[in-house]
Chains A and B, each alone.
Chain A
Amino acid sequence: MKSRSFFRFDLIIFFAAVGLSIIGILFIYSSGISSDGVLQNNEYIKQIVWASIGIVIMIVLSFFDYERLRSLSFYIYGANIILLLIVLFSGDVVNGARSWISIRGIGFQPSEFMKISLILRLGVYFEESRNKYSDFIRFLLGLIQAAIPMLLVIIQPDMGTALVYFPIFLTIAFVAGVKKRYLFFLLAAGFLTVMFSLIPAWDHYIITEKSVELTKVFTDPNLMMIVIGSLIFILVLSGIGLLLYKRKYFYWIGYAIIILIIACSLAMGTSSFIKDYQLKRLIIFIDPQIDPQGAGWNMIQSVTAVGSGGTFGKGFLKGTQSHYRYLPQQSTDFIFSIISEEWGFIGCLAVFLLFLIIMIRGLYILLTAKDEFALFVGCGIIGMIFFHFIVNIGMAMGIMPITGIPLLLVSYGGSSMFTTMIGLGLISSIYLHKYKY
């Protein structure tokens, strides 16, 4: 292992991160060029500055002993929550969400840094709580700590960023040994809630010809009350069954019923505050043609850009979709579309490979972690990177809903660049300090 390290510093992740940042800068430059070759903005220069600062942060953090963060994590978490509250009242609105704080002209998004704060906090929490609480209470208290920032960010409203806290919690809790049935419960309830909330929109926009009778359950509150009522009745019956006969299957019936009850109730709740067009954006990836001029536009343009890239791409700065400006938000959410248009399958493969290297190398490092805090923090960071990767690239390929989640290290933006570099710095630090006791 020494042969691959310089000052025992992990060069694999470092070079992969630098590589992705360079690709990012190249394509942010490309996205700023109009069809007649004129550079229309200086986003790429800003990104160079941010990437450079980010790399410095990463190197500095590598040599910083992460152990010191253990005692600070609670305060970092608390301070970040306060920042999120401040943002809600006096933040700047960007892209429809009140998510920015600016101090002397330099703006940043507390919700971005919350990812790291949450990872640190959960890392400490799950380490300390191992023998303190029962399994269930331990799970529940962790969930609450993740849910607080999630709610605060949803209110902004920035659904995309809020969503990221969920996989962070799941990954850490999973590695921390939380019972699989609790995690499955959470996943299933979350998944069904989303499904049930989307069904009315799906019925309305995609199955336009003939409404499916069954979807009325999700649009008619009275029917929903009947459904929930009967579910509760079954729950009570299975509870009685469990008490009287002590049979295991009563437990599992109750388990499934509670998932359904929670999903139904939450779906009913969401339908009252989520607006129609938001639902429409979420289901657009199923069939972008339902709104080709509006929400479906981005998806159609992005998918066309990706597919038309071919094996080798149209060449750097030669993409038609991007330079004729059909692609929206090219430098942020849809940067992968330009990469795949101009560099084709080969270029995409390079991006995939670099991300894979970071994630697998990260996990490999964690196998040698010297304490649970390091393990949990590392897994949280990898979970975060993984989630961003899957959702952003899935969106560019048209198989994930448009949620506004950037591709870490590559997409234009300082806050997410710093967050990622801090995360990678922490993993590096875990690697560097693995033998110190």
Chain B
Amino acid sequence: MPQKFIIPKSRLLFLMILIIGSVVTYTFYLGSMQIVNFGEYQRRAKDIASREAVLLAQRGEIYDRNSDLPLVMNIPSFALYAVPGEMTVEQKEKLIVNCSEYLNIDENEIRKKIPLDSEGNFLPVEIKDAVQYEDIIFIAEHIDEFPGISWQSKPIRGYPEPGSISHILGYVGDITSEDLQILYNKGYNRNSTIGKSGIEKQYDLLLRGEDGSRMRTVDVKGRRIEDDLKIIPPRNGNNLVLTIDRKIQKLCEQALGERIGSVVVMKPSTGEVLAMVSYPYFDPNLFYTDRSKEVYTKLSLDSRFPFINRAIQSSYAPASTFKIIMTAAVLEEEAFSLTSTINCTGEKRFGDRVFKCHKHSGHGPLNLSSGLAESCNVFFYTMGVDYLGINKIADYSRRFGFGESTGIDLPGEVEGLVPTPEWKEDVYHTIWVGGDTVNVSIGQGALNVTPLQLAVSLSMIVNEGVAYKPHILKRVVDSSTGEIISEVKPEILRRSNIRKETFRTLQDYMRGVITDGTARYVITTKAVEMAGKTGTGEMGFEDKWDSWFAAFAPYGSSDPDEQIVLVVNVEGANNWEWWAPKASDMIMQGIFADQSYEEVLDEFDRRWYIRELKAREAAAAAEAEAAESETQDSVAQ
């Protein structure tokens, strides 16, 4: 029998108070949610129930200065989506297997995007983009094999004439989460496409436009429930017109050929860049194919760095082209009488070191004009060490814009370097010696410039004291109306206080290089009178030299419309052909005679190097043909 006991009333009371207290607390909390903050939750519920279908904005197209044919356009293409939350595990499994089998997608990659246990996720996941129309038809015909799949138009970028222009245009890709963190407030989202390099990156905001949306109330299966369709139309991106001239770009590309190096052609009177070539280049179309990763990896590992736009992202010793700046300094400072001469014996001794001239037998007596024309090293050694000194050399280098970015509207420009005694002490903790000045005097040593910087410095000489900021964008055009939204105006980058007379003399001397100097046998075009300077840079190896040519044309012209500046750099990694002046000769001929590369070749038919070039091309073509017929033979067998 149970014993007598006393009901523990106080403890039961405690339980009762606990229960009532909790229920009352919950009632108040619920009231605060459902009555006080009702509006906030109602808004959220509506947001969730109204599915937003994104209406993608068309990315703007990019044209060259003639704005007739697009350099970049949008190619119709599709992206495939699936909503993991509304699929069963079996459906997901089937979709994953079939997608990887028929659409050639890596199975592990889809599995990562659509985990089997993702039943809570009702946002569409992009399985693959850049899907061709034919594939969509195939999927539509076999829709049972692809449970839960849907697709949307998502054009990809197409580059009709890929080539050297790729460095300027750049390419686009999926936004990375690092990008997104910075750009989130500018209207980018997780599915955004973003320019990764070149103009596509520089002017991404202009090109991308603004996605629109179609709001409708739907259930999780995406079926429409209410008819309250609300459409915000997308605002398409703007078209861009570049300063680039497609014909000149092509001409420069072909004239440089398969030689590592770069070419810049610009209008000194406005800063417009007419052509900018960097070899090797890449084909951005390949980034939008199934093999994109493979292609990207291969290009990234290429030891010639095809992603580098050498015209602005590489800096080199300017070599003898720097003698232009030296000459300007001597003229402006009146450091050396124009009639005095210096006798070149083939070498000069500074302290205990002997510096040689490129002509080992010596040039004999030279004045400033013939010193530049002959590109005499001994002459400029003497100028640098005895008449100017490193501080003046550095000062004039900066006045011509070296060691400072030009501000061109392309990402990733490098600044180059103008060495000074302070710099050397900072970096190497050693003292500046006379030999350093000797080296800088002929554009060697630590002095580094980009081909574009050299072109800009030349444009200052042509303009007699003003340099315009180089730019690629010419105008922004509304893609739907064709209206011009904005036009890029020439912007003064630098105004020099060097006397106009100095520039004029300098122009004459540079003309002398072509008529009587180092370039007299190689520059033969009759189409225009040009002025310029050759350069041969030491690379530290025997028989490997950078080849430079910097020129402007027409010499003596005052018509800003026809003036151009040209810089060609051929890296020493190539076989030595002294190619820069030869390429310049062809480019000038092409531009001023309005000829294509092939026409220039015919025009220059007599020249030994053209014959050699043609013979080599013919041999290569024959070889290719032979290889092709051989494979055909083997196929026939």
CA distance A288 to B27 in the complex (A): 22
Nearest CB of chain B from residue A84's CB, rounded to whole Å: 27
Identify which of A199-207, A245-253, A316-324 touches chain B.
Answer: A316-324
CA distance A132 to B183 in the complex (A): 73
CA distance A311 to B27 in the complex (A): 12
The reply on B619 being an interface residue by CB < 8 A is no
- B12 adjacent to A363 (CB under 8 Å): yes
- A308 adjacent to B219 (CB under 8 Å): no
- B33 adjacent to A306 (CB under 8 Å): yes
Identify which of B119-127, B269-277, B278-286, B464-472 touches chain A.
Answer: B119-127
CA distance A34 to B539 in the complex (A): 76
- A348 adjacent to B34 (CB under 8 Å): yes
Identify which of A13-21, A170-178, A213-221, A425-433 touches chain B.
Answer: A170-178
Contacts of B220 in A (CB 8 A): 324-326
Closest residue of chain B to A127 (Cβ to Cβ) is B2
Q: Which of B26, B34, B118 is A310 in contact with, Cβ under 8 Å?
A: B34
Q: Most B CB atoms within 10 A — which of A308, A310, A328, A382?
A: A308
- A375 adjacent to B7 (CB under 8 Å): yes
The reply on A293 being an interface residue by CB < 8 A is yes
- B26 adjacent to A35 (CB under 8 Å): no
The reply on A237 being an interface residue by CB < 8 A is no
CA distance A271 to B218 in the complex (A): 42
The reply on A413 being an interface residue by CB < 8 A is no
Indicate the size class of the contact surface on chain B.
35 or more
The reply on A36 being an interface residue by CB < 8 A is yes
- B218 adjacent to A324 (CB under 8 Å): yes
CA distance A379 to B13 in the complex (A): 12
The reply on A345 being an interface residue by CB < 8 A is yes
- B48 adjacent to A328 (CB under 8 Å): no
Contacts of B427 in A (CB 8 A): none
- B15 adjacent to A363 (CB under 8 Å): yes
Contacts of B2 in A (CB 8 A): 127, 370-373
A306 touching B41 in the complex, CB below 8 Å, given contacts A325-B220, A326-B48, A328-B119: yes
The reply on B615 being an interface residue by CB < 8 A is no
- B7 adjacent to A369 (CB under 8 Å): yes
- B5 adjacent to A394 (CB under 8 Å): no
The reply on B609 being an interface residue by CB < 8 A is no
The reply on B40 being an interface residue by CB < 8 A is yes
* Interface residues as binary, A104-146 with B (CB distance below 8 Å gives 1, 0 otherwise): 0000000000000000000000010010000000000000000
Contacts of B29 in A (CB 8 A): 397, 399
* Interface residues as binary, A343-359 with B (CB distance below 8 Å gives 1, 0 otherwise): 01100110010011001
Contacts of B7 in A (CB 8 A): 366-367, 369, 375
Closest residue of chain B to A319 (Cβ to Cβ) is B45
- B34 adjacent to A309 (CB under 8 Å): yes
CA distance A35 to B610 in the complex (A): 77
Contacts of B15 in A (CB 8 A): 171, 174-175, 363, 379, 382-383
Nearest CB of chain B from residue A68's CB, rounded to whole Å: 13
The reply on B44 being an interface residue by CB < 8 A is yes
* Interface residues as binary, A154-182 with B (CB distance below 8 Å gives 1, 0 otherwise): 00000000000000000100110100000
- A397 adjacent to B30 (CB under 8 Å): yes
CA distance A70 to B250 in the complex (A): 99
The reply on A229 being an interface residue by CB < 8 A is no
Contacts of B556 in A (CB 8 A): none
The reply on A60 being an interface residue by CB < 8 A is no
Contacts of A359 in B (CB 8 A): 19
| CB interface residues, B 100-127, toward A, < 8 Å | 118-123
Closest residue of chain B to A36 (Cβ to Cβ) is B223
- B16 adjacent to A307 (CB under 8 Å): no
| CB interface residues, A 288-319, toward B, < 8 Å | 293-295, 297-298, 301, 303-311
CA distance A303 to B19 in the complex (A): 23
CA distance A304 to B46 in the complex (A): 10
* Interface residues as binary, B1-33 with A (CB distance below 8 Å gives 1, 0 otherwise): 011010111011011101110110011011101
- A307 adjacent to B12 (CB under 8 Å): no
Closest residue of chain B to A294 (Cβ to Cβ) is B120
* Interface residues as binary, B400-439 with A (CB distance below 8 Å gives 1, 0 otherwise): 0000000000000000000000000000000000000000
CA distance A43 to B94 in the complex (A): 28
- A297 adjacent to B19 (CB under 8 Å): no
CA distance A132 to B307 in the complex (A): 86
Sampled A-B contacts (15; CB under 8 Å): A175-B12, A294-B120, A304-B44, A304-B45, A307-B33, A307-B44, A326-B48, A328-B119, A349-B27, A363-B16, A370-B2, A372-B3, A394-B26, A397-B29, A397-B30
Sorted nearest first, the 10 A-B pairs with minimum C-beta distance are: A307-B41, A308-B45, A371-B2, A297-B120, A35-B219, A324-B219, A325-B220, A308-B41, A345-B34, A307-B33
Give the B-binding residues of A (Cβ under 8 A): 34-36, 127, 130, 171, 174-175, 177, 293-295, 297-298, 301, 303-311, 320-321, 323-326, 328, 340, 344-345, 348-349, 352, 355-356, 359-360, 363, 366-367, 369-373, 375, 379, 382-383, 386, 389-390, 393-394, 397, 399
6 further A-B contacts with Cβ under 8 Å, apart from A177-B8, A366-B12, are A305-B45, A310-B38, A324-B49, A324-B219, A397-B26, A397-B29
Give the A-binding residues of B (Cβ under 8 A): 2-3, 5, 7-9, 11-12, 14-16, 18-20, 22-23, 26-27, 29-31, 33-35, 37-38, 40-42, 44-46, 48-49, 118-123, 217-221, 223, 225
